[in-house]
Structure 1
Amino acid sequence: KKLTAGSSKVALRDPEGVMLAALHIEEVWQPDRAAEAKAVFNSTSKAHPGADFAINKSNAWYIGGRLEGLQAPSHYDFRTLRFTPAELRAEFARLGWRRVVAFQTRNPMHRAHVELTFRAAKQVEANLLIHPVVGMTKPGDVDYYTRVRCYQLLSSKYPQGTQKLSLLPLAMRMGGPREAMWHALIRKNHGCTHFIVGRDHAGPGKDTDGKPFYGPYEAQGLFKKHESDIGVTMVPFNMMVYLEAEDRYVPDDEVKPTDRVLNISGTELRQRLNEGRDIPGWFTYPEVVHELRRSFPPRSQQGVTIFFTGLSGSGKSTIANALLTKFLEVGGRPVTLLDGDLVRKHLSSELGFSKEHRDINIRRIGYVASEITKNGGIAICAPIAPYDATRKHVRQMVDPYGGFILVHVATPVEVCEQRDRKGLYAKARAGILKEFTGISDPYEVPADAEVTINTGELSPEEAAQQIILHLEREGFIGVSGAAA
C-alpha cells in the first residue's frame, strides 16, 4: 500500500504483534541519510554506530506525524525498577526530593562511578537518581540484565535514603555532545533538576584512524552553552582515577605530577574476565566481580562458533567433519555441526540461491550458532557464505555470547572445479546453474579471517589440527582440544 500524507495511518506493534500506537502520517519523504548523519553525529564513518545505522541500516523512506498512544509496552523483567516520567515525578514528591541529580550510564558501575555520583550529589546538595539505559547501546557492551544486577548490589554503598535506581528504556545513538543534551531533556521529563556529564559522554570511541569522534569534554561545552534552554543544571565531572598511595579516587584534574595513578579500561576489564585473571579490589567490589564472572566466564568455559567460508568444493565440509570428530573424541562439551547442505535441507528448504535468499540462509545459521554459543556449546558452521557483510553480521550475532573464529578455506576455484564430484561447476559454466559462486556470482574474500587454510598444502586432519591450535592459543579450549 502506498502511504500518503494526511490520509494514512500506520500501526506500531511490539515484537509479539501487540499494537502500542498509531502514527497518523503527515509527512512522507526520502531523506539524505548521509547529510542527516553528518548533521546529527558530525560523522559519516561506518565506525560510528549511530552514523552507520543512519546511512546503511535505516529505511530509505521516512514517515512522520502525530503519534496516538494506545498502551505502554509490556516489560516482564525488573518491573519494580521501571517508572514512567509521571510515576518517577510522583515518587520524588512522595519522598520529598526537591533536588535530584541524574546519572546516565550504559556500563556496569564500579568504585570510580560510586565515588563520582556520591561527590556530585553532595556538591549540589541533591538526591541521586541512577538512571541506566536498558535499550540498545554500543555493540559489545555488557547486557543490561547483568548490569542491572550489578547496580542493585551498589545501593548499600550510598547513605540510606539518598539514591534511587530506575531503568530507562532507551536506544542510545552514541551521539556524544548532542546526545548529552537529549539525555538531560529526558531526565527533566522524569523530574530531575541536575544532570551529571562526565568525560566523553555517549561517545562511540575512536574512528578507523584511531582518533576520537568527539573531544573528551566536548559534551560539557555544548551543554553549558544551552543549559538555560534545557532547564537542567549540568554537574560536570572529569574522569575519576585511583591514587594508589592514598587509596582513594579523585578527578584527574586534581592529580599531582608525583602521584601514581591506577586505572583499568573497559577493554582491559573484559580481557581479565575472558582470561580468568584477578580484578583488584581498588577497582570494583567483590560482589560486582562475582556477578560479572557469572555472565562472563573465562574463555575456556565460553561457547565458540567456528565459521568456515570458501567456494563450493573447497573442502569446508570435510575439514568441519574432521574437526567435529576431534571434539567428540575428547568430549566434555556439546558440539553441533551446521553444514551448508544440511541447513539447506532442514532449515532453508524453501530458499533459492539469489543474494537475498543466501543472506537469509546465512543469518539463520548465525542465529542458531549464536544460541549454541550462548549456552556454552561449540558450533561448527560450513556454508559457502560468499558475502562479507553477511559474515560480519553473523559475527556480530555471536560475539556477545562467546568466541567467533572465521576460517577461510582458500582453495582456488580451479582446484575446486577439478574436485567437483556433483558436476556443479560444469552446469554453471554451461549456464544451467545461475548465480553460482565463483563462476557467475562473486565470492568476497574475507580480510578478517582468524585462520586461513590452503587445502592444497594440508590434509583435512592437519587443517583441523591447525584450527584446534588456534583455539588453544586463544584460550577457548585446553591443550589437545580438551575443555580447560
Structure 2
Amino acid sequence: MSGAHRLGAARELNQPYGGTLVNLLVDPGRAAELKAASRDLASLDLSPRQLADLEMLATGVLSPLTSFMGQADYEAVCAGMRLADGRLWPVPVTLDVSLKFAESIAPGRPIALRDAEGTLMAVLTVAEIWQPDRGAEAQCLYGTRSFTHAAANQLLNAGGEACVTGKLEVVELPLHHDFGPLRRTPAEVRAQLARRGATRVVGYHPRHLMHRAHVEFTKRTAYLHDAVLLIQAAIGRRGLNDADHFSRVRALRAALDHYSAQVAQLNLLELSPRHSGARSALWHAILHKNFGCSHFIVEHDYDDQGEGATGDPLYGRYHALDSVTWHAQEIGIEVVPFRNLVLEEDQPEKLLSPRGASRRMKGRIRETSHEQHAEVAHWFSYPTVLEEWRKTLRHGFTLFFTGLSGAGKSTLAQVLYARLKEQEARPVTLLDGDIVRKNISSELGFSREHRDMNVLRQGYMASLITRHGGIAICAPIAPYANTRAQVRAMVEEDGDFIEIYVATPLTTCETRDRKGLYARARAGLIKQFTGVSDPYETPVNPEIVVDTSLQSAGEAADKILAYLTAQGYLGRGSTMEAETHKIKHEPITLWTSDAGSLPQTLSSGDGASSPGAGKRLYK
C-alpha cells in the first residue's frame, strides 16, 4: 500500500481529475441549430437516473468522461476499475436503451435525448451500439447477482438490453426549481471557494443525515487541516416524486447551522446512488476532487447496503477506506478516515466497535417508548434536524391546474411542487398531464370521451393522495367544466380541492408552442385540438386565477402559496413541534477513537459544557 497521499501546503485549489474540467454545453448558436434539427431525429426519453448522469457529464462532475461509456470502457471498468486507456475509474456510466430502440438507430446518426416532458436536453451522434452483460456487471459492482440486493435488482430488472454511446452535445441542463442556491456546478463551487481564498477543502459525502457525531468530527477535521468543509449531498433519485431528498436537504440545512459560515458550505449533487461499497467511495473521491477538494472523508462500511435482509456487510468493514487510501496518490486527494465518536456510560476510555455498538444502540432505541426516544434524541442529534425529518402529516388537499396547452401549467406546477417540498413534510405528488397520459393512459386517444377518462383517472389518483393526508398537484388541460366538477367531487369526499385557472391567452400559447402542436392543429393534422378545433370551457368560479403572460412562474407560485397560507392550508402547527420542545438541551461530551486525543466537549446550545452520561453516537 502506498499510504495516504499528502498534498502539503497548496497555493491553489486541487486540479480536476485528469487535469481539465469537462464542459459539454454548446453555445447558443449551436443549441439553436440542434433544436431545429431535432424535430426530424429519433428521440429517447431519459429516465431520472440517465438525466442525472447527463447533467453530471455536462457540468464536469464526471470529468474526464465526455460521454456515456462505450463497450471497451464499460468492460474495463467492470473488470478492473479502469478505463480502456488505463485511468482509474470504478463505476460504469452508460446510456441503456431497449432493443427495439437500438434496432431503430445506426452509427453516424444523431438522436435527440429528451426529458420526460419532451424537452430537448442533448443530441448524441451515435458511434457505437452494444449489449452489456448485466449479470457480470452486478457481480463486479455488488459482489452478488441476488435480487435481495436493491441495486443489483434494479440493474438486472430495470436496465435496457442495449447501450449507446457517441459524441454528446448538451443543449440545456435540466431545470431544478428546488433549493436553487444549494445547487452549484464544479465550476461554480470552485469560483466560490476561490473568492473565499480557500486552497484546502475537505469533502464529505453524508450517507443520510448529519447528527452530532458527524458535525463534531467534520468540524474538527476542517480545523485540524486548516480547510473549508464542503458537504456534498447526493440527491439523484429514481423518480420525480421521491420524497427523501427534500426532507434530507431540510435536515442537512438545519445541521449546517451548527457550523460557522466560514467553515462549511452545503452543495447538492444530482448523483443517483450506486451502492457499490469501495467502488462508490473511490468514485466519490474522484467527483469531490473535481469540485476542488484536497481531502476526502471516508467512513467505514462505505455505501454498503448489506446482503438482503441480513444487514451483514457485503464488501468488508474497512474495504472502502483501504481502497481509497491505496489509490489516493493516483487520484490526487488526501484521505481522512472517519473516526467514531464514542460515549461510554461507565468506561469512557473503552472504545466500542462501530457495527456492534450501532446494532446494540439501534435495538435499544426501537424498544423505547416515545418519551424515552425523545430523551435519546437530545444526545444523538439536534432538535432542529429531528424536527425537519420527523414532521407529522397534515390535512390533505389537491391543487388542480387547468388551462390551454402552452399556458404554463406544467412549469407552474413544477415550481409549486418544489416550493412545497422545500417547506412541507407532507407527501407532495405531481401528476403532470403528459406524464400521466404516457404512463397511465397510454391506450387512450384524444376523443372527448378519452380525454375525459384521462382527466378522471388523474382525479382519482389525486383523491387517494388527498385521502391519506398528502398534497396532489394535477396539471391537465381539462377543457370541460363537467369533468372538472366530477374531479372536484371525488377529491372533496376526503379533502379540499383548489382549482387554479391558468388564464394565459391563446395567442401567447401559440407563440410558445414548444412541441409544435398548434401549428399541426392549424394545418389540420391534429383533430379536436383544444383552443383550435375544440372548445375550452373557461372555469366560472376557480379559487385562483393566474396569467403567465403577465407574471413569471415564480411570481404566480408566490401568489398561490400566499392564498394557501391565508386559507390555512400551510403553516399549521404539527405535533412534532411540541415533541421537539420536550427535548432537553443538555451538554454532552464526545471522545474520539484517536489515541491520545483530548475529550471533545459539545454543547447543545446553551453555552455550557460538561461531561454527560456516556452514550455512543452512531450513524
Same fold (TM over 0.5): yes
Matches within 5 A, 1:138-157: 143-157=244-258
Alignment-mate amino acid for residue 69 of structure 1: V
Counterpart of 1:107 in structure 2 is: 208
Query: 1:170–1:210: structure 2 CA closer, same or farther, 3 Å change rule?
Result: closer
Q: What SS does structure 2 have at the residue aligned with 1:157?
A: coil
2:136 counterpart of 1:35:
yes
Paired with 2:466 and 2:305, the residues of 1 have a C-alpha distance of: 29
Alignment-mate amino acid for residue 378 of structure 2: G
2:183 counterpart of 1:82:
yes
Counterpart of 1:284 in structure 2 is: 381
Matches within 5 A, 1:142-221: 143-221=244-322
Is the CA contact (8 Å cut-off) linking 1:272 and 1:279 kept in structure 2?
no
Is the CA contact (8 Å cut-off) linking 2:301 and 2:313 kept in structure 1?
no
How many Å apart are 1:373 and its aligned residue?
6.7
2:193 counterpart of 1:92:
yes
Query: 1:182–1:374: structure 2 CA closer, same or farther, 3 Å change rule?
Result: farther
Query: 1:169–1:348: structure 2 CA closer, same or farther, 3 Å change rule?
Result: closer
Q: What SS does structure 2 have at the residue aligned with 1:24?
A: strand
Is the CA contact (8 Å cut-off) linking 2:301 and 2:316 kept in structure 1?
yes
Alignment-mate amino acid for residue 147 of structure 1: R
How many Å apart are 1:66 and its aligned residue?
2.2
Between the aligned residues of both structures, percent identity stands at 37
Alignment-mate amino acid for residue 289 of structure 1: L
Query: 1:272–1:376: structure 2 CA closer, same or farther, 3 Å change rule?
Result: farther
Paired with 1:10 and 1:270, the residues of 2 have a C-alpha distance of: 56
How many Å apart are 1:135 and its aligned residue?
1.3
Query: 1:195–1:290: structure 2 CA closer, same or farther, 3 Å change rule?
Result: same
Residue segments in structure 1 that go unaligned for 5+ positions in a row: 255-259, 304-346, 352-362, 378-484
Is the CA contact (8 Å cut-off) linking 1:11 and 1:19 kept in structure 2?
yes
Deviations 1:264-284 (A, max 9, x none): 549957998899865520001
Deviations 1:267-317 (A, max 9, x none): 9579988998655200011112222221x55xxx899xxxxxxxxxxxxxx
Counterpart of 1:60 in structure 2 is: 161
How many Å apart are 1:116 and its aligned residue?
2.1
Of 109, 115, 137, the match for 1:8:
109
Deviations 1:223-248 (A, max 9, x none): 11211111111111144333346999
Counterpart of 1:432 in structure 2 is: none
Greater RCO between the two (CA within 8 Å, min separation 6)? 2
TM value normalised by structure 2: 0.45
Paired with 2:270 and 2:139, the residues of 1 have a C-alpha distance of: 26
Query: 1:198–1:47: structure 2 CA closer, same or farther, 3 Å change rule?
Result: same
Is the CA contact (8 Å cut-off) linking 1:134 and 1:169 kept in structure 2?
yes
Paired with 2:228 and 2:218, the residues of 1 have a C-alpha distance of: 10
Query: 1:253–1:101: structure 2 CA closer, same or farther, 3 Å change rule?
Result: farther
Paired with 2:133 and 2:296, the residues of 1 have a C-alpha distance of: 33
Paired with 1:185 and 1:191, the residues of 2 have a C-alpha distance of: 10
Residue segments in structure 2 that go unaligned for 5+ positions in a row: 1-100, 397-439, 445-456, 472-619
Counterpart of 1:131 in structure 2 is: 232
2:220 counterpart of 1:119:
yes
Q: What SS does structure 2 have at the residue aligned with 1:106?
A: coil
Matches within 5 A, 1:244-393: 244=345, 252=352, 264-265=361-362, 279-294=376-391, 296=392, 371-372=465-466, 375=469
Counterpart of 2:72 in structure 1 is: none
Q: What SS does structure 1 have at the residue aligned with 2:390?
A: helix
How many Å apart are 1:23 and its aligned residue?
1.8
- Root-mean-square deviation (CA, aligned residues, Å) is 4.1
Query: 1:270–1:30: structure 2 CA closer, same or farther, 3 Å change rule?
Result: farther
Deviations 1:362-394 (A, max 9, x none): x999966873476259xxxxxxxxxxxxxxxxx
Is the CA contact (8 Å cut-off) linking 2:202 and 2:227 kept in structure 1?
yes
Paired with 1:60 and 1:267, the residues of 2 have a C-alpha distance of: 46
Alignment-mate amino acid for residue 469 of structure 2: N
Counterpart of 2:147 in structure 1 is: 46
Query: 1:41–1:263: structure 2 CA closer, same or farther, 3 Å change rule?
Result: same
Query: 1:271–1:375: structure 2 CA closer, same or farther, 3 Å change rule?
Result: farther
Mean Cα deviation higher: 75-84 or 213-222: 213-222
Is the CA contact (8 Å cut-off) linking 2:365 and 2:376 kept in structure 1?
no
Is the CA contact (8 Å cut-off) linking 1:111 and 1:282 kept in structure 2?
yes
Alignment-mate amino acid for residue 98 of structure 1: T
Mean Cα deviation higher: 94-103 or 201-210: 201-210
Alignment-mate amino acid for residue 283 of structure 1: F
Paired with 2:158 and 2:221, the residues of 1 have a C-alpha distance of: 38
How many Å apart are 1:103 and its aligned residue?
0.7
Query: 1:277–1:78: structure 2 CA closer, same or farther, 3 Å change rule?
Result: same
Is the CA contact (8 Å cut-off) linking 1:121 and 1:128 kept in structure 2?
yes
Query: 1:18–1:4: structure 2 CA closer, same or farther, 3 Å change rule?
Result: closer
Paired with 2:337 and 2:182, the residues of 1 have a C-alpha distance of: 26
Q: What SS does structure 2 have at the residue aligned with 1:47?
A: coil
Is the CA contact (8 Å cut-off) linking 2:305 and 2:311 kept in structure 1?
no
Alignment-mate amino acid for residue 7 of structure 1: G
Query: 1:149–1:55: structure 2 CA closer, same or farther, 3 Å change rule?
Result: same
Mean Cα deviation higher: 166-175 or 231-240: 231-240
Counterpart of 1:308 in structure 2 is: none
Alignment-mate amino acid for residue 341 of structure 2: M
Is the CA contact (8 Å cut-off) linking 1:137 and 1:173 kept in structure 2?
no
TM value normalised by structure 1: 0.56
How many Å apart are 1:154 and its aligned residue?
2.2
The size of the alignment, in residue pairs, is 315
Is the CA contact (8 Å cut-off) linking 1:176 and 1:201 kept in structure 2?
yes
Deviations 1:72-115 (A, max 9, x none): 11110110111000000111100011000111023121111112
